[in-house]
Amino acid sequence: MKVNVPRSVRDSALAQIKTAMIEKKLTQAQLADAADCHEKTIQNLLSGRSVRDQTLFDVCMVLGLDFDKLRDSWNGPGAVSASGPPELQGENGSEVAPLYMGAYTRAAVDHYIGSYVTLRSSFSRPDCIVAYRTDITWDPEWPSLLFQERDRPDAPYSHRGRLYVPSSSMFIHLVSLTKGAMRMIVVSQVDRFGEMRGIITTIHKHGAMLVPVATPIVYAKRESFDGNLGDITPAHASYDAYKKLIDETMAQGYARLVG
């Protein structure tokens, strides 16, 4: 059902979009091309007319804007988000992710939902493993799997993003995008042990510079996390078990660092 929202309600959201277009030096036509939509759709958007949530999401991806915040501003205070455009509804009303995310249904990925201990090597401390919690849930407002990092030693750098699940691959992608900064994790599909293994690519502060880094990463589904998160050094009781999981990720071919 289309909801009419006054142009004045959307002024803040429109200002963010137009400012981002100026900063990125994008014309309406260029934004339409990058967001894979018709230029008339962008004209409607910039005029404050109603557009699909998917269009708003695609524009945010191009401009590096926070979709959740922009959508709330676009819909106005107290607005209830719709479940999504018609193409996000599967047979018998089942929920299905957008095509560019893999068009997966909730029923097909239900086994991913849960909490995982997340393990990777420290970028700055040799012989130290960083362990934190990642929760994977289903987002009914924008049908797709959503991940949220928690209990990281460096909490301000925690990421939140979505899962892309291609139908023809043994690997899936955990992608977060904030203000143009993208981080991608590629891991194997969750196995019968509740584990996913692969590689993370991100940016790390090295001295006065930010440099690209990559390292193996493991997700292992857990019910309890007591005392097993944070910076795990060789003196920690869980260090050997965690290191074994990371070492196996390379040894068993889930990730390969070429250099």
Element (H, E) at 109: helix 106-109
Residue 206 pLDDT: 76
Q: What angle (nearest 5°) sits at the alpha carbon of residue 3, between those of residues 53 and 16?
A: 50
pLDDT < 70 regions, the chain: 1-8, 77-94, 179
Residue 259 pLDDT: 75
Residue 58 pLDDT: 83
Residue 1 pLDDT: 42
CA distance 82 to 142: 9
Residue 181 pLDDT: 76
Residue 238 pLDDT: 95
CA distance 122 to 176: 20
Residue 105 pLDDT: 92
Residue 151 pLDDT: 93
Residue 87 pLDDT: 45
Residue 7 pLDDT: 62
Angle, to 10 degrees, between the axis of helix 53-63 and the axis of helix 67-75?
130
Within 13 Å and on the Cβ side, how many CA atoms surround 80? Answer: 3
Place of tokens 């009303």: 93
**Ordered domains of the chain (ranges, CATH):** 8-75 (1.10.260.40), 106-251 (2.40.128)
